[in-house]
Amino acid sequence: MKALSTKDLTKKYGNKTVVNHLNLEIEKGSIFGFLGKNGAGKSTFINMITGLTLPTSGSFEILGEQGDSLHRVRHRIGVLPDYSTFYENFTALEHLKYYSRILRLSLTTNELKEILKQVELEDAINVKTKNYSFGMKKKLGLAQAIINKPELLFLDEPTSGVDANSILNIHTLIKDISAQGTTVFLTSHNLDEVEKLCDDIAIMNKGTIQTKGSMHQLRREYQDNISVYIKHDSISESKQIKLRTELSSLVKNMKVTSDHLELFVEDESVIPKINNYLVSEQINIYRLEVEEPSLEEIFLNLGEEKFSA
């Protein structure tokens, strides 16, 4: 079963099409990254699938239920908005007790404390939220989002305003939640975070999905040449000439010097062949580096020409 699927999902405001016949499938149990520049239509898309606004046309299915039956699955969903609002005179523990009653959950005080410990709020359990920093409120929002052990968890900027150590803890928590079967739908302006965490990534542009896939697939799609740098021990001029001749059939471009090679190849499958050849020539390799585009580079250059040497 797909955790989420859409078919020609469309939202118009007057003559303006904000989400345009969008088709998307998200595998159950995956961490899915959803990206797009401001105005791309991300928020409108999320608002439709969480029931905050109605589609103009098209349909979607969430956790096996059609979009018009969203009320049947709301208790199986968790949501962390970018900005969470809390009752200022409630403590963290009082908030979770309140949310658990709303959701009709039978959680003990110790179980609620354990959830707060998961998000590193164990030292502020009885502190009123009016005294919380932005980062602490983000953690409490995350605790609220996972209180019902959701099957589908929406996280909007889960680490914005959070210190470095807490970011690492939240990343670990997201991975653990996913490993237990929860599907995580993640939006973030931290592209390095998305690259590290997500199994699949979709980039939205002008109301449509411009590209979708794993980081490996995105790199293959948006990079024509792979840059390879090899540091080796010193070799003679005659051996340099031999390398140029023998490697010419494997690479598109190369620079050969006495102590390193700079190569551009079309497919990573030739890299071990190059390595094996150097070893057969008794050339000691000190370092082999493969340069690939980051998600940030792909995102910023989407729509431009592919990466090339």
> In the prediction, which pLDDT does 291 show?
87
Residues 97, 143 contacting (CB under 8 angstroms): no
pLDDT digits (tens, 9 = 90+) for 112-154: 999 999 999 999 999 999 999 988 999 999 999 999 999 999 9
pLDDT digits (tens, 9 = 90+) for 180-228: 999 999 999 889 999 999 999 999 999 999 999 999 889 888 777 789 9
- Terminal Cα-to-Cα distance of the chain (whole angstroms): 42
> In the prediction, which pLDDT does 208 show?
92
pLDDT digits (tens, 9 = 90+) for 204-214: 999 999 999 99
Confidence check: pLDDT of 309 > 60: no
> In the prediction, which pLDDT does 29 show?
93
Confidence check: pLDDT of 110 > 80: yes
Residues 133, 123 contacting (CB under 8 angstroms): no
> In the prediction, which pLDDT does 19 show?
95
> In the prediction, which pLDDT does 305 show?
46
Structural domains in the chain plus CATH codes: 2-219 (3.40.50.300), 224-291 (3.30.70.980)
pLDDT digits (tens, 9 = 90+) for 41-89: 998 999 999 888 999 999 999 999 998 888 889 899 999 988 788 999 9
What gap in Å lies between CA 45 and CA 75, rounded to an integer?
20
What gap in Å lies between CA 201 and CA 192, rounded to an integer?
12
Task: Judge if pTM exceeds 0.85.
Answer: no
Residues 186, 174 contacting (CB under 8 angstroms): yes
Confidence check: pLDDT of 307 > 70: no
State residue 87 phi and psi, 5-degree precision: -75, 120
> In the prediction, which pLDDT does 308 show?
46
Which residues, at least 6 apart from 94, have a Cβ–Cβ distance to it below 8 Å? 87
Helix/strand/coil (H/E/C) assignment for every residue in the chain: CEEEEEEEEEEEECCEEEEEEEEEEEECCCEEEEEECCCCCHHHHHHHHCCCCCCCEEEEEECCEEHHHHHHCHHHEEEECCCCCCCCCCEHHHHHHHHHHHCCCCCCHHHHHHHHHHCCCHHHCCCEHHHCCHHHHHHHHHHHHHCCCCCEEEEECCCCCCCHHHHHHHHHHHHHHHHCCCEEEEECCCHHHHHHHCCEEEEEECCEEEEEECHHHHHHHHECCEEEEEEECCCCHHHHHHHHHHHCCCCCEEEECCCEEEEEECCHHHHHHHHHHHHHCCCCEEEEEEECCCHHHHHHHCCCCCECC
What is the token pair recorded at 193? 């975070």
> In the prediction, which pLDDT does 303 show?
57
